[in-house]
């Protein structure tokens, strides 16, 4: 067996998420179809994360076990020749036989893009959440800072398995202002979160809560209460999937002291 590690980039707009499902178009589904066409095999894939319908990835990591030996660059080229235009293999490399893209990951980084503009923004609609009104950026940064560290994030998402823990560790979180491609009249922000793992819906709920604080629909104290008592927390607006970008995944390196971050 040959185990390969693929790094994928995709525009999630026209996909029903990562995970293969009958009768709908998914990223895993088109990757499996491409692998069958190129290799004649239908391997069971592992992925670093199951992105939502409409969400995008710049560095999705996928483990691909194949019975036949493949040179990574050759496989990457062959797959890109048959994959649809909204998916690309950015990189392929050999991995250990027991590699699992999800369980071996040390941390994941997601970015959420918010565009503040009163007028309609057609050029931003596929990849960001457009909001109207002034944002209190200082309050947003204060809210984000509360989320750093180990907390019960039960108010922000659900565990992958019923009854699983909702405790997660946010290793870093940042709010950055960025230049928008259409410039005048638009202020764009990236909410970037690195965590050991994410609950289902957690990143979009974090983005929704931070933006709600910026729009003065929630307070920093409200956010603190969500962490202190998730069971009685007020519902939070979950940000739309189109602004969510899976950015990178960090893995240990066998025989080296430092982990490696796998990104686009």
Least Cα distance to 206 among 172, 161, 251 occurs for 172
Question: Would you tell me how many other CB atoms lie within 10 Å of the CB of residue 158?
Answer: 14
**Lookup result for tokens 């009104």:** 133
d(Cα 94, Cα 71) in Å, to the nearest integer? 8
Active site residue 86: no
What residues have CB less than 8 Å from 131, skipping those under 6 apart? 114, 115, 116, 211, 215
Catalytic residue among 11, 14, 33, 52: 52
Q: How far apart are CA 168 and CA 31, in angstroms?
A: 30
Separation between Cα atoms, residue 119 and residue 23, nearest integer Å: 37
Q: At what angle do helices 72-82 and 27-39 cross, to 10 degrees?
A: 120
Torsion sign, CA atoms 71, 39, 79, 51 = negative
The residue whose two tokens read 């066998």 is 254
Give me the active site residues, please. Answer: 52
């Amino acid at each position: 067996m040959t185990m390969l590690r693929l790094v994928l980039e995709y525009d999630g707009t026209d996909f029903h998420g990562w995970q293969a499902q009958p009768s709908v178009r998914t990223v895993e589904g088109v990757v499996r179809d491409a692998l069958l066409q190129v290799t004649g095999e239908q391997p069971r894939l592992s992925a670093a994360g199951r992105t939502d319908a409409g969400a995008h990835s710049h560095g999705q990591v996928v483990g691909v076990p194949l019975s036949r030996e493949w040179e990574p660059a050759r496989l990457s080229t062959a797959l890109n020749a048959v994959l649809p235009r909204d998916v690309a293999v950015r990189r392929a490399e050999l991995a250990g036989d027991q590699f699992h893209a999800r369980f071996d990951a040390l941390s994941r980084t997601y970015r959420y893009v918010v565009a503040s503009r009163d007028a309609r923004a057609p050029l931003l609609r596929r990849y960001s959440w457009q909001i109207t009104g002034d944002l209190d950026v200082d309050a947003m940064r204060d809210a984000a800072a509360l989320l750093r560290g180990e907390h019960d994030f039960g108010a922000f998402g659900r565990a992958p398995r019923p009854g699983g823990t909702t405790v997660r560790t946010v290793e870093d979180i940042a709010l950055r202002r960025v230049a928008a491609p259409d410039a005048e009249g638009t202020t764009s922000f990236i909410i970037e979160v690195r965590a050991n793992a994410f609950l289902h819906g957690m990143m979009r709920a974090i983005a929704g809560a931070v933006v709600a604080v910026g729009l003065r629909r929630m307070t920093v104290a409200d956010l603190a209460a969500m962490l202190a008592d998730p069971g009685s927390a007020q519902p939070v607006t979950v940000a739309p999937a189109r602004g969510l970008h899976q950015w990178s995944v960090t893995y240990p390196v066998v025989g080296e002291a430092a982990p490696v971050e796998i990104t686009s």
